[in-house]
């Protein structure tokens, strides 16, 4: 089970990188990213079992990016970490296009990482399909990943030491859809348990 740090990688979608290529040469970036662009989702983001996703009152909608979550097992310090399980994930965020400073407020809100049920890793993955209120609104293939899963894990493990219980979101589609209050969201992909959540108003007691 997830019991460590939840890492994610931004700007790992080839289409998004191509579309933004010019901007990477402008301030404040200056040049394109060399290392994988990592972020962390706090434990308070993670929900499971179809739990609703809270929409903070000041946000009209949230970006909902379908992705695959890897769960690490095996022994820490190993040359190459085992991926012991995978699940579908929905990385929820406040839409942002500024990648200069860490997007803490945008990415780290309570309930902003619904996970599907864990299952065994597969050798290949089908399209990740997102439906809102029963209608398909987005579909992407992990073939779009600039750093494919194995290369990404190897690059990061060289300086991060993934431990058993850590989680990695392998990349986000640059054209992720958005969802609003009351909408029901499903992410499905052949061979993986589907993920379902509903966008509800955030209640803070």
Partner 1 sequence: MRRAKISYAGRALWADLLDDDVLRLADGTLLPAEAAVWLPPVEPNATVFALGLNYADHIGELGFKPPETPLVFLKGSSAFVGHGGVSPLPVGARQMHPECELVAVIGRPARRVSRSNALDYVGGYTVANDYAIREYLENYYRPNLKVKSRAATTGLGPWIVDARDIGDPQDLTLSTRVNGQEVQQGSTRDMVFDVATMVEYLSEFMTLMPGDMILTGTPQGVHFVSGGDEVVCEVEKVGRLVNLVEVGG
Which residues are near partner 1 by CB under 8 A?
2-5, 7, 10-11, 28-31, 33-35, 37-40, 42-44, 56, 76, 99-105, 108-110, 159-163, 165-166, 204
How far apart are alpha carbons 49 and 153 in whole angstroms?
A: 27
**Cβ contact 112:94 at 8 Å:** no
Q: Which is nearer to partner 1, 50 or 165 (CB)?
A: 165
Q: Cis check for the bond before 73: say yes or no (omega within 30 of 0).
A: no
Residues 6+ apart with CB under 8 A from 161: 76, 77
Q: Which is nearer to partner 1, 7 or 140 (CB)?
A: 7
Rounded to the nearest whole angstrom, what is the least distance from the CB of residue 4 to partner 1 in the complex? 5
Rounded to the nearest whole angstrom, what is the least distance from the CB of residue 75 to partner 1 in the complex? 13
For residue 99, report the phi and psi dihedrals to the nearest 5 degrees.
Answer: -105, 15
Please, what is the Cα angle at 74 between 191 and 42, to 5 degrees? 75
Rounded to the nearest whole angstrom, what is the least distance from the CB of residue 156 to partner 1 in the complex? 9
Q: What is the dihedral of CA 110, 111, 113, 117, to 10 degrees?
A: 140
Q: Which is nearer to partner 1, 44 or 122 (CB)?
A: 44
At 119, list the tokens: 């299952």
3-state helix, strand, coil in the chain (%, to 5): 15, 40, 45
Rounded to the nearest whole angstrom, what is the least distance from the CB of residue 102 to partner 1 in the complex? 5
Q: Which is nearer to partner 1, 42 or 73 (CB)?
A: 42
Rounded to the nearest whole angstrom, what is the least distance from the CB of residue 114 to partner 1 in the complex? 16
Q: Which is nearer to partner 1, 44 or 120 (CB)?
A: 44
């Amino acid at each position: 089970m997830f019991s460590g740090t939840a890492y994610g990688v931004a700007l790992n979608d080839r289409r998004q990188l191509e579309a933004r290529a010019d901007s990477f040469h402008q301030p404040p970036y200056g040049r394109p990213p060399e290392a994988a662009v990592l972020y962390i989702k706090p434990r308070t983001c993670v929900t499971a079992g179809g739990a609703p996703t809270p929409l903070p009152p000041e946000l009209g909608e949230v970006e909902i990016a379908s992705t695959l979550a890897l769960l690490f097992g095996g022994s820490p310090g190993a040359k190459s970490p085992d991926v012991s399980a995978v699940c579908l994930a929905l990385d929820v965020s406040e839409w942002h296009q500024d990648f200069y400073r860490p997007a803490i407020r945008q990415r780290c809100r309570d309930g902003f990482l619904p996970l599907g049920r864990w299952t065994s890793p597969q050798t290949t993955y089908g399209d990740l399909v997102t439906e809102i209120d029963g209608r398909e609104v987005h579909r992407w293939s992990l073939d779009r990943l600039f750093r494919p899963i194995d290369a990404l894990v190897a690059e990061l493990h060289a300086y991060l030491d993934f431990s058993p219980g850590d989680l990695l979101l392998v990349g986000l589609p640059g054209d992720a859809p958005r969802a609003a209050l009351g909408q029901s969201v499903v992410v499905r992909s052949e061979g993986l348990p589907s993920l379902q959540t509903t966008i509800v108003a955030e209640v803070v007691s």
